[in-house]
């Protein structure tokens, strides 16, 4: 069962990467935010540097793999930051900056993180059991198995 779920997640990730490939040919990777573990029918919103990425989205984590498959990706083009939410939908462009202000609302509780991208371009956000969020940052992609 775990192998089947892993294969399905890899297929979904491949489709997401394929949809972004045309955009990424012209742009450079800047960051990825992965919503990861312990989400269970939680209502979340995400804002980056005052740009609303999504609001009132219900998410749940896969209990085996520890991920929701919800990924926000940032690409840089001509010194502008383009925020991508699924597929090839560009939501906004912001000035290029190595610091992000990420505001996550979970079940009506707002939490703010200031992220220095020089410390890692891969950002994982997980829910702790008291509706608080844990942010981890690293310089290599996340692996789910």
In a domain, 51, yes or no: yes
Task: State the virtual CA torsion across 49, 54, 59, 62 in degrees, nearest 10.
Answer: -60
Residue 7, domain member (yes or no): yes
- 23-73 pLDDT, tens digit per residue, is 444 568 889 999 999 999 999 999 998 888 999 999 999 988 889 989 998
For 83, the domain range is 2-138
pLDDT tier at 138 (50, 70, 90 boundaries)? Answer: very high
Report if residue 143 sits inside a domain: no
**10 in a structural domain:** yes
Residue 114 within any structural domain of the chain: yes
Whether 96 is in a domain gets the answer yes
Q: Is 71 within the bounds of a domain?
A: yes
| Residue 68 lies inside a defined structural domain of this protein | yes
Of 56-60, 83-87, 121-125, the least confident: 83-87
When divided into structural domains, the chain yields a total of 1
- Mention every residue, 6+ apart, whose C-beta is less than 8 A from residue 123: 31, 32, 33, 34, 102, 115, 135, 136, 137
**Max CA distance (Å), the chain:** 45
The predicted model scores a pTM of 0.78
What band does 130 get if pLDDT is binned at 50, 70 and 90?
A: confident
Task: Name the band, by pLDDT with cuts 50, 70 and 90, for residue 80.
Answer: low
């Amino acid at each position: 069962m775990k192998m089947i779920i892993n294969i399905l997640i890899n297929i979904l990730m491949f489709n997401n990467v394929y949809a972004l490939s045309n955009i990424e040919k012209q742009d450079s990777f800047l960051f990825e935010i992965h919503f990861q573990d312990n989400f269970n029918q939680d209502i979340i919103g995400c804002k980056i540097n005052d740009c609303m990425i999504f609001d009132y989205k219900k998410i749940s984590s896969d209990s085996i793999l520890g991920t929701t498959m919800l990924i926000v990706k940032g690409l840089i083009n001509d010194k502008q930051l383009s925020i991508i939410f699924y597929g090839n939908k560009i939501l906004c462009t912001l000035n290029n900056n190595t610091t992000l202000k990420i505001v996550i609302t979970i079940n009506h509780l707002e939490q703010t993180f200031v992220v220095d991208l020089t410390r890692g371009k891969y950002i994982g956000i997980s829910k702790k059991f008291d509706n608080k969020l844990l942010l981890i940052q690293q310089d290599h992609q996340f692996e789910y198995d």
